[in-house]
Amino acid sequence: MIEHPPEPFRIKMVEPIQLIDQSAREHVLAEAGYNTFSIKAENVFIDLMTDSGTGAMSQSQWSAMLMGDESYAGARSYYRMAEAISGIFGFKYFVPTHQGRAAENILSALLVKDGNFVPSNMHFDTTEANILARGGHPTNLVIDEAFEPTNRNPFKGNLDPNKLRAFIEAKGPENIPVGMLTITNNAGGGQPVSMDNIRQVSEIYHNHQIPFFIDACRYAENSYFIKLRDPKFADKSVLEIAQEIFAYADGATMSAKKDAIVNIGGFLAFNDENLYKNACNELILREGFPTYGGLAGRDLDALATGLWEGLDEDYLAYRLGQTAFLAEGLLEAGIPIVEPPGGHAVYIDASRLLPHIPQNQFPGQTLAVELFRQGGIRSVEIGSVMFAHPDPTSGETVHPELELVRLAIPRRVYTESHLNYVIKTLNKIAAQREYLHGYRITYAPKLLRHFTARFEPL
């Protein structure tokens, strides 16, 4: 059981939010084509769409921004970021990028060739899309327990080492230019990966001369889970745990919009000098000079400060406690969720909540729409809208194992009473669940369709 300690901060600036009335919410939904991504933020009461770039920066981060050095080349801000990256991650080289997917794009451009395979526990959607865009095959090899929503394995984000060995043997290491691991596993419920698994995966990749890159978005939350759940690490600091994690890897991509608690920013880090030089060329072409990436000097300073703050153990205890609070409230109300809850979000199991809505009618989308209709709450579907795809040989639709709705908690933004309101709203929805119906897609683009698809009620 995770404790829920009070916020280790007090609030100095507030941003008003308002709940528009039910008929206005109906109108907003119809205008948005029943896609929560198309709703104007001003019409949202509680925004749990993502924890990415939505956190509240601290007074130290805001004051660091005023120290931002906007020199085109060699800014002091860059060196402060370099200090944080070498102190925490230990990699020799890095380039700043404007966010995580820009780092993924550069990595894919440098390493992935047509027909290559890139294994991971589970790739996030942008990583998957960047590998696909280079003609590669992103492959998810997470342990089977990840797909059992009530299985309380403490490290449900682990990559299955047996699946990985068999995969490398079947595809040939020469066709695998990079192996990855996402910590925590966002697409699979925000579940952590254990240190033993990270070490083992690193050994397997390295035994086959495959470079090992970590998607490090939520490295601090993952490190704190290791401290809480693996007795071998109970007396280690979160910083020491993070340092050990990255010592097993050859590089990392990171969207700093998560555990570095900034509104924009990211980086790609590595130990290989050649890769670094090639990354600089890619960066100059698309993002900017290697000492600023696509960012302003002030962004680099906020990011450097946030990387250290994200490791604060009082903050992490509060952060994971807040997620656990929401999860426990929903379980008490009989709402099925992925258990145990992950670090940054609670994932509602829409298939179990709405068993009468089949996968091809998008039960997760139904629930996401209902959360807005009933309570002005914005969430995101992580199910068939996001991941269903045609089978390459039969052309038949392949649905994901789980139909989830993610309630992602922005960092240091909402209080316990906001979360109580979310729990109450879900109670209301659950009481009327049999009257809810599915949706049909009326428009979808080819790639990453969940962002812009439109729907109509069935």
Ligand X SMILES: Cc1ncc(COP(=O)(O)O)c(C=O)c1O
Which residue in 126, 194, 351, 366 binds ligand X (CB under 6 A)? 126
Which residue in 43, 61, 99, 359 binds ligand X (CB under 6 A)? 99
Cα separations in angstroms, 168 against 115, 135, 361: 14, 18, 36
User: Is 348:324 a contact under the CB 8 Å cutoff?
Assistant: no
Does 105 sit near ligand X (CB under 6 A)? no
Does 52 sit near ligand X (CB under 6 A)? yes
d(CA 268, CA 249): 13
Residue nearest to ligand X (CB): 100
Mask of contacts with ligand X, 132-171, x by CB under 6 A? ----------------------------------------
Which residue in 33, 68, 96, 100 binds ligand X (CB under 6 A)? 100
d(CA 31, CA 33): 6
Does 217 sit near ligand X (CB under 6 A)? yes
Does 215 sit near ligand X (CB under 6 A)? yes
Does 55 sit near ligand X (CB under 6 A)? no
SS3 category, 191:
strand
Which residue in 158, 182, 223, 323 binds ligand X (CB under 6 A)? 182
Does 266 sit near ligand X (CB under 6 A)? yes
Which residues have C-beta within 8 Å of that of residue 233, sequence separation ≥ 6? 195, 226, 227, 241
Does 257 sit near ligand X (CB under 6 A)? yes
Looking at the Cβ atoms of 124 and 387, the one nearer to ligand X is 124
Looking at the Cβ atoms of 164 and 345, the one nearer to ligand X is 345
Stretch that binds ligand X, among 99-107, 226-234, 346-354, 394-402 (CB under 6 A): 99-107
Q: Where are the alpha helices (DSSP H) in 89-207?
A: 100-111, 125-133, 161-171, 195-207
What residues are paired with 407 via a beta bridge?
Answer: 346
User: Is 263:85 a contact under the CB 8 Å cutoff?
Assistant: no
d(CA 410, CA 299): 19
Does 124 sit near ligand X (CB under 6 A)? yes
Stretch that binds ligand X, among 94-102, 109-117, 128-136, 139-147 (CB under 6 A): 94-102
Does 302 sit near ligand X (CB under 6 A)? no
Structure tokens at 147: 């797909």
SS3 category, 333:
coil
Size of the site for ligand X (CB under 6 A): 14
Stretch that binds ligand X, among 95-103, 111-119, 170-178, 430-438 (CB under 6 A): 95-103
- What residues numbered 363-382 form the site for ligand X, per CB under 6 A? none
d(CA 422, CA 46): 8
Spatial CA neighbour of 240 closest among 438, 14, 112, 87: 87
> How is residue 47 annotated by DSSP?
E
Q: Which residues bind ligand X (CB under 6 A)?
A: 52, 99-101, 124, 126-127, 182, 186, 215, 217, 255, 257, 266
